[in-house]
Amino acid sequence: MNVAEWKEVIGLIVMAIVMVLVPYVLKPYLSLAKVRAERAWFDFSKEQPKLAVYLTAFARTAVVAAEQAGLKKDAFDKKDYAMTAVQAWLRHEGYASIDPLLIDAAIEQAVMEVFNPDYLGWVADKVVE
């Protein structure tokens, strides 16, 4: 084998190792991000309960509308559609200053409720146990 072939083999080995290790390295950071997002939503819903209910309801409506709009099968297009719809509604209602991460969390929650209700029930059962 010449040097170029060895470099290619070593590159493939390094890439395989990185692909195996990345999930383990990122898991603690993702867990921390989830905890922070849940805490932010809890604080928001405690400070502004009426708005939290409205945001949750409109996020659910926007998610269903994005699914029925005939968009490409790309989940990012649907999420962008839902995000734009929720932000427009909030601006219309005078709530333009809501953190986009809270809107994003409401949309993700709505997606789980609409398309994976059994998963949410399973999680709730585990939390109660």
Q: What is the pLDDT of residues 51-84, one digit of tens each?
A: 888 899 999 999 998 888 876 666 678 888 999 9
Same domain, 61 and 104: yes
Same domain, 43 and 96: no
Please check whether residue 83 is in contact with residue 107, taking contact to mean a CB–CB distance below 8 angstroms.
Answer: yes
Task: Render pLDDT for 22-43 as a digit per residue (tens, 0 to 9).
Answer: 777 777 776 777 777 778 888 8
- Report the number of distinct structural domains present in the chain: 2
Considering only residues 108 and 129, tell me which one the structure prediction assigns the higher pLDDT: 108
* Residue 2 three-state SS: coil
Q: Is 87 exposed, middle or buried (0-12, 13-18, 19+ CB in 10 A)?
A: middle
Residues 6+ apart with CB under 8 A from 50: none
Same domain, 31 and 57: no
Last residue of a domain, one of 15, 31, 47: 47
Q: Is 65 exposed, middle or buried (0-12, 13-18, 19+ CB in 10 A)?
A: middle
Question: By residue range, what is the domain housing residue 129?
Answer: 48-129
Same domain, 54 and 33: no
